[in-house]
Amino acid sequence: MTVDELMCEALRLNATERASMAHELLSSLESLSEAEIEQLWVEEALRRSAEIDAGLVETIPADQVIAEARARLK
């Protein structure tokens, strides 16, 4: 079973079952070593970079993001 197939199956669960699964999955990450956490961040950065390079996501200039965040805080 692929991760996508597993995700589809998990999303068919009721809210209580999904919450329990989410809790267990998040708890399992607490025992990761610093090296494992660093590797996961590297993989995530590479994935995001590839999405940008492929034109799959829209980038937003930092000054725009900061201006929008400040506007929300007012």
Q: What is the pLDDT of residues 13-51, one digit of tens each?
A: 999 999 999 999 999 988 899 999 999 999 999 999 999
CB-CB contact of 40 with 32 (8 Å): yes
Mean pLDDT value of segment 61-65: 96
- Cα–Cα distance measured from residue 43 to residue 72, given in angstroms and rounded to the nearest whole number: 31
What pLDDT does 29 receive? 87
What pLDDT does 1 receive? 87
Longest CA pairwise span in the chain (Å)? 47
